[in-house]
Amino acid sequence: MFRISFSAVTIILLINIGVFFAWNLSLGESSVSSDFMVNNFLVSWSGLEQGRFWILLTSAFSHNLFFHVFMNMFVLSSFGTAVESTIGLSRFAWFYLSAAVFSSFCHAAVSNVILHDPELPALGASGAVSGVVLLFALIYPQQKILLFGFIPVPALWAVVIFVGLDLWGLFAQAGGGGLPIGHGAHLGGAFAGLIYYFFIYREKRRTTTG
């Protein structure tokens, strides 16, 4: 008898791919289908004010461009598999979902308070993935990774650089410039990874070894 088992990373990948196809199918269907995706798979402060709190989670599984979903899922697969094997399937799933919700909220809050644009929508897994990458770097700080795809650096230094770039990008957006990137979501996800490492992962290890 064959036994099929799925990791949390695999399930997350499949959901993201499914929502990606739903977006692309909706573009060729009626406006009702398109409106459904817009109302349920984009996060913004205005959407939260309207009571659609589920978008904090659904938007983190949402991509409508191939390159966007490919890059996020590639990074998730690269780092998430190692993190899941270290902390376990259930803990990884709860961490990922928590990082997704928190990063989405951070985007909405930053858009409203700092960028003064409560209707600014966002979608994508990059906030949650940022949390996974930062957690990986804290667990394996000396593990070499390829910065920008070709510069080998210790994982911890790489995430410090990326966090710095997100801070710089957010300051640029606050001044009216910058790129259309969800820096608030990235920083929120990274903060979730930081909190998980110091208050859950390390405490669990201390209890186990003690």
What pLDDT, in 10s, does the model give residues 86-141?
999 999 999 999 999 999 999 999 999 999 999 999 999 999 999 999 999 999 99
Q: Which amino acid is at 51?
A: G
**Average pLDDT score over residue span 182-189:** 98
pTM here? 0.93
> Which amino acid is present at 128?
A
Mean pLDDT of 9-13: 97
How far is 23 from 45, CA to CA, in rounded Å? 21
Residue whose C-alpha is closest to residue 117's, from 184, 162, 37: 184
Q: Between 73 and 28, name the one with better pLDDT.
A: 73
Q: Which residue has the tokens 């989405």?
A: 104
Nearest to 160 by CA among 121, 193, 122, 185: 193
- Distance between CA atoms of residues 74 and 77, nearest Å: 5
Q: What is the mean pLDDT of residues 171-198?
A: 96
What confidence category does residue 31 fall into, taking pLDDT thresholds of 50, 70 and 90?
low
User: Which pLDDT tens digit goes with each residue over 41-83?
Assistant: 999 999 999 999 999 999 999 999 999 999 999 999 999 999 9
pLDDT of residue 143: 95
